[in-house]
Amino acid sequence: MAASQLRLAADPAPSDAAAPQGAGAPRERILHVFRAPVGGLFRHVVDVARLQAMAGHAVGLFCDASTGGARADAALAELAPLLSLGVTRLPMRRNPHPSDLAALTALSGVVRRLGPTVLHGHGSKGGLFARLVPTGSRARPVRAYTPHGGSFNYRPGTPLHRLYMRAEGLLTRRTDVFLFESGYIAGRYRAYVGPTDRLVRVVHNGIGAEEFAPIIPAADPLDLVYIGELREAKGVPVLFEALARLRQEHGRRLTLLVVGSGPDEAALRGRVASLGLTGEVQFEPPQPIRAALSRATVMVVPSLAESLPYVILEAAAGAQPLVSTDVGGIPEIFGPAAPALVPPSDAAALAAAILRKVDQDPAERRGEAAALSAFVRCRFSMTRMAEDGLAGYAAARASRSPARDPG
């Protein structure tokens, strides 16, 4: 399938991408490369791209055309007027596939035409493409890479994980700067790939000031809400088991709203039925997070693995009471409140944490949520995220070896 591109402003490639630009011209020409326009990674790219464009940089996106559906189409259409380098979409597979060669060839054509000064890859597939794509003998864009969990969290210790880490090590040679979105993933890189001589910075995901408005509870809220992808790696079966334990051991029938979609939805619905929880659990498709949060007293995040999830940042900012597992970069979000986090895959511990939070004095519960919101406000700024990324590009350009990028 041919690549589709949404172009709302003519912006031809300069004859020399490294040439100085005139007064008022964009300071950088940034092409963000990623696979699926869904989830936290997509939100991160959209936020960064928007702020970069508003700061006067020329920005474009290159991503998959076969995922995201109407929600991705709408988000990209809203962003497109700011993107002078346009939006290019073509099919990409999640896992390695021969079609990757066609996608890489298409990306090379886009790069040669647009002449970006920065190629910023996000996630495993985006990082692969942004660092492998040929750019021509004269162009030497900064190649930045932001992992978002992905291959670093994929079944550590297995042969496939070792293969992924070997590939990450080889791709390091074509990386100018790592912009890790959490200290956790930076640590995974050190543990599984090893030390690097390339520039490394931790640029946390950030959220906007308007997201700190408190969540207003709906009338007659449910007890709990889960918001996220419907697959086993998110720990949803453990949450269901915790609810069954609360009913069996404490006689408590807590209600749960499950908001999301994913490959394991049918299996998860079957699990609810087999545990006899059909009357307590209701499933709904993806929807705006604040609307979903308003419909329950406590949000539960039972994940088995994570990076630095936006869903927790957004809920914490809005002072939504939270119960979460202790995985990935979640302790970085909770800060002083991290001791309250629950071990993953432990239904008994999750049930106990849920019961404590649901039965907690409402004033105390609100106080804990407000304290976490204040901590997040100090540490996870969207504006700082964008500024630190731009600073990372500049530092990488200033520090790289003249022979580092073979083009």
This prediction has a pTM of 0.88
In the chain, where the domains are located: 4-10+27-206+382-399, 210-379
Nearest of 369, 316, 334, 79 to residue 207 by alpha carbon: 316
- Residue 248's alpha-carbon distances to 255, 256, 257, 277, 359, in angstroms, are 15, 16, 20, 11, 17
Residue 400's pLDDT is what? Answer: 77
Residue 6's pLDDT is what? Answer: 43
Contact between residue 145 and residue 41 where contact means Cβ atoms under 8 Å apart:
no
Residue 273's pLDDT is what? Answer: 98
Kindly report, residue by residue over 198-246, the tens digit of the pLDDT.
999 999 999 999 999 999 999 999 999 999 999 988 999 999 999 999 9
3-state secondary structure of 84: coil
pLDDT < 50 regions, the chain: 1-2, 4-23, 25
Tokens describing residue 286: 């993806």
Residue 10's pLDDT is what? Answer: 35
The one-letter amino acid code at 162 reads R
- CATH fold for domain 210-379: Rossmann fold (3.40.50)
Residue 404's pLDDT is what? Answer: 54
Give me the helices (H) in 25-158, please.
Answer: 39-54, 69-79, 99-114, 123-132, 150-153
- CATH fold for domain 4-10+27-206+382-399: Rossmann fold (3.40.50)
Kindly report, residue by residue over 79-137, the tens digit of the pLDDT.
999 999 999 999 999 888 888 999 999 999 999 999 999 999 999 999 999 999 998 76
Asked whether this chain's domains 4-10+27-206+382-399 and 210-379 adopt the same fold, the reply is yes
